[in-house]
Copies of this chain bind each other. A is one copy, B any other.
Amino acid sequence: MDAEAAVVGPLAEDLRVLNELSVVSEVDADAVGRAREHLEAARAILAEKTLDGPYGVRFTADGRQRSWGNAAVGLRNPIAPPLEFVKDDDGTVRADYFLRRGYEGPPGLTHGGISALILDQVLGYTATVNGCPGMTGTLTLRYRNPTPLGALHAEARVDRIEGIKAFVVGHISDGETVCVEAEGVFILPRWARERMAAEASAVTEAPAQD
């Protein structure tokens, strides 16, 4: 992990813990007030210097993408669980991850939309690392069984490629049972290809994934 990651990674992790406490804390109003004074102090410090626009995709010195702002995988992003991917030799992508209580939908269960967020990211990454960078064209989710909170597993593989479309399938499981199945079609839409062409003079790296 580089020097910047060692600074901003723990900041995001602090906020992930606080995001969960915002949901489950039972302290009284006075205590919340005292906590908010500290949050305001932290806000004032962090707001002293900020980006003008969104984080976007940055590039490391060796040209690799740095999606640290991403809502599903971002090292810097407290909304992201986050996710770390492992690619097998056969192209299958796997991620073991942990969902705190802030990812709840039905009582005690993972929100179906959070499973969608994770599968969109896993499937899109799978397309990218198998040679088909693109954005989500369609995504179909089938909720087979309740998805608990806590330790979960996601994986995906490219089912087939047709022209500029990659068809990717995957699922989330709790280690024993498949909870959610997904199929996604990933494609570089015309507007993205045009935007990339326009930006090509400044950046010559691989296209961003979502």
Interface residues of A (CB under 8 A from B): 3, 7-8, 10-12, 14-15, 17-19, 21-27, 29, 31-32, 34-36, 38-43, 45-51, 53-57, 68-72, 74, 76-79, 101-109, 111-114, 116-121, 124, 135-143, 145-146, 149, 189, 191-192, 208-210
Q: Shortest distance in angstroms between A122's beta carbon and chain B's nearest beta carbon?
A: 10
Candidate in A22, A74, A109 with the most chain B CB atoms within 10 angstroms = A22
Inter-chain CA distance A57–B139, complex, in Å, is 29
**Contact among B25, B43, B138, B141 for A143, CB-based, below 8 A:** B138
Question: Is the CB–CB distance between B48 and A31 below 8 Å?
Answer: yes
Query: Which B residues touch A103, using CB under 8 A?
Result: 71, 79
Question: Is the CB–CB distance between A32 and B7 below 8 Å?
Answer: yes
Question: Is the CB–CB distance between B31 and A14 below 8 Å?
Answer: no
Query: Which B residues touch A111, using CB under 8 A?
Result: 70-72, 117, 120-121, 210
Query: Which B residues touch A57, using CB under 8 A?
Result: 107
Q: Shortest distance in angstroms between A8's beta carbon and chain B's nearest beta carbon?
A: 7
Inter-chain CA distance A23–B128, complex, in Å, is 24
Inter-chain CA distance A53–B23, complex, in Å, is 11
